[in-house]
């Protein structure tokens, strides 16, 4: 039965893609997968020849035929692995680059070819390990299904490297570059005067018990004084899920002066930089704004397995209301320089921020060493 299921999955894999023959060979760079291709290609030198393996949309028969053997027919998953390895070896690049950091298939490809072809994985998001048995199913999407392997890993921060290694990941070489998605914002960054007291970072969904508890605390707190509060939406108005997203948030903010701000490029970062304190839960975003010197209040009413790295900040992530009120007021009142001096080590550890060297600049330096 298991074999039938695997064969069915292989058929789905093949039938869901456009058929193509082969790809150019003897190029400098292979980009594995179309994911964030619009970010990767502008960072490449114009003299570098590259080819994109369009895994999400195409299947290349030239290499698929070579991957099929009698032995592999009994192990359909092996066909997909062999297909990629034969394709990459025949293209014969100097380096393979992918912005997909959470694929067991890509980890396996990396392990198989990195002794002869350089392979660089660029971190694309926050991923957790050590899933709790009590974790609600909806939050399991944040966890990797197994422990990763990276021969070369361009990560957001030193924390990410340490965190993965703590759970048994194999990372042969790592490079702290920050998030390449923030390159433009960092290159144009300027310090801003504070307009809001509090910025709330909305989640993709906001109707879980943990969300309701956090919003209960926030609404009780904002009634104590005339605080200026904004909400950075997670979903843009043209998204299919926008209606539900805004409906949930409107339910919390009705009859208040809280401002909901539509999502656009870097809008959350801009709003956070305009605010004294940014509140959010299980999000990489808080690390990024924290690295810029901003005050943050991470909340985790879900499960301890989702607390990293904010459990290093020495305050409760699942506070009582009285604890929440006291800590939030202290954050609003504290002088920015005092807060930054106290948290400087963690700011540098949680994420990478340097207006003089953007993540793209760091990426370009790494690529040059491989070519």
Question: What are the structural domain ranges in the chain?
Answer: 2-183+359-370, 190-350
Using a 10 angstrom Cβ sphere, with 0-12 exposed, 13-18 middle and 19 or more buried, the burial of residue 34 is: middle
pLDDT in tens, 206-225: 889 999 999 999 999 999 99
- The second-level CATH assignment, the architecture, of 190-350 is 3-Layer(aba) Sandwich (3.40)
Taking alpha carbons only, the member of 299, 199, 205, 300 closest to residue 248 is: 205
Helices in 68-151 by DSSP H: which ranges?
70-73, 76-91, 104-113
295-298 and 196-201 beta bridge pairing = unpaired
Residue 342, Cβ neighbours under 10 Å: how many? 11
- Does the bond joining 147 to the residue before it have cis omega, within 30 degrees of 0? no
Residue 87 and residue 89: Cα distance in Å, rounded? 6
Task: Tell me the pLDDT band of 282, cut-offs 50, 70 and 90.
Answer: confident
* pLDDT exceeds 70 at position 242: yes
Q: Regarding the domain delimited by 2-183+359-370, which CATH topology (the fold level of the hierarchy) does it fall under?
A: Rossmann fold (3.40.50)
Percentage, residues of the chain above pLDDT 70: 95
Enumerate the β-bridge partners of residue 198. 229, 277
- Alpha-carbon separation of residue 133 from 10, 117, 166, 303 (angstroms): 31, 39, 19, 10
pLDDT in tens, 17-70: 888 888 999 999 999 999 999 999 999 998 999 999 998 888 898 888 887 765
Residue 74 and residue 82: Cα distance in Å, rounded? 13
Check if 2-183+359-370 and 190-350 are the same fold: yes
Cα(first)–Cα(last) distance of the chain, in Å? 47
Residue 256, Cβ neighbours under 10 Å: how many? 12
Tokens of 81: 């692995």
* pLDDT exceeds 70 at position 6: no
For the full predicted model, state whether its pTM sits above 0.85: yes
The interaxial angle of helices 158-166 and 336-350, nearest 10 deg, is: 50
18 backbone dihedrals φ, ψ, rounded to 5°: -75, 145
């Amino acid at each position: 039965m298991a074999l039938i299921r695997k064969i069915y999955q292989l058929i789905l894999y093949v039938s869901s893609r456009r058929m193509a023959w082969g790809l150019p060979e003897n190029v400098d760079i292979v980009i594995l997968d179309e994911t964030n291709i619009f970010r990767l290609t502008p960072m490449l030198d114009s003299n570098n020849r590259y080819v994109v393996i369009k895994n999400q949309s195409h299947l290349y028969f030239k290499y698929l035929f070579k991957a099929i053997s009698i032995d592999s027919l009994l192990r359909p998953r092996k066909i997909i692995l062999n297909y990629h390895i034969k394709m990459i070896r025949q293209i014969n690049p100097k380096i393979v680059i992918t912005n997909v950091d959470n694929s067991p298939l890509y980890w396996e490809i990396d392990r198989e070819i990195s002794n002869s072809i350089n392979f660089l994985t660029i971190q694309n998001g926050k991923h957790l390990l050590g899933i709790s048995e009590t974790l609600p199913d909806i939050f399991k999407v944040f966890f990797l299904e197994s422990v990763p392997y990276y021969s070369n890993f361009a990560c957001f921060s030193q924390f990410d490297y340490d965190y993965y290694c703590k759970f048994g990941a194999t990372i042969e070489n790592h490079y702290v570059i920050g998030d390449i998605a923030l390159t433009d914002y960092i290159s144009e960054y300027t310090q801003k005067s504070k307009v809001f007291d509090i910025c709330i970072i909305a989640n993709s969904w906001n109707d879980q018990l943990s969300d309701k508890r956090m919003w209960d605390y926030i609404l009780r707190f904002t009634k104590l004084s005339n605080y200026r509060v904004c909400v950075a939406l997670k979903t843009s108005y043209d998204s299919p899920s926008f209606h539900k997203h805004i409906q949930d948030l409107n339910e919390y903010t009705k009859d208040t002066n809280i401002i909901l701000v539509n999502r656009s490029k870097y809008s959350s970062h801009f709003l956070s930089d305009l605010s004294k304190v940014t509140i959010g839960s299980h999000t990489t975003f808080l690390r990024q704004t924290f690295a810029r010197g901003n005050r943050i209040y991470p909340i985790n009413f879900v499960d301890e397995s989702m607390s990293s790295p904010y459990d290093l900040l020495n305050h409760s992530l699942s506070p009582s209301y009285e604890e929440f009120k006291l800590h939030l007021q202290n954050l609003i009142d504290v002088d920015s320089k005092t807060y930054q001096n106290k948290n400087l080590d963690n700011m540098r550890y949680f994420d990478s921020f340097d207006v003089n060297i953007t993540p793209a600049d760091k990426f370009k330096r790494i690529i040059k060493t491989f070519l």
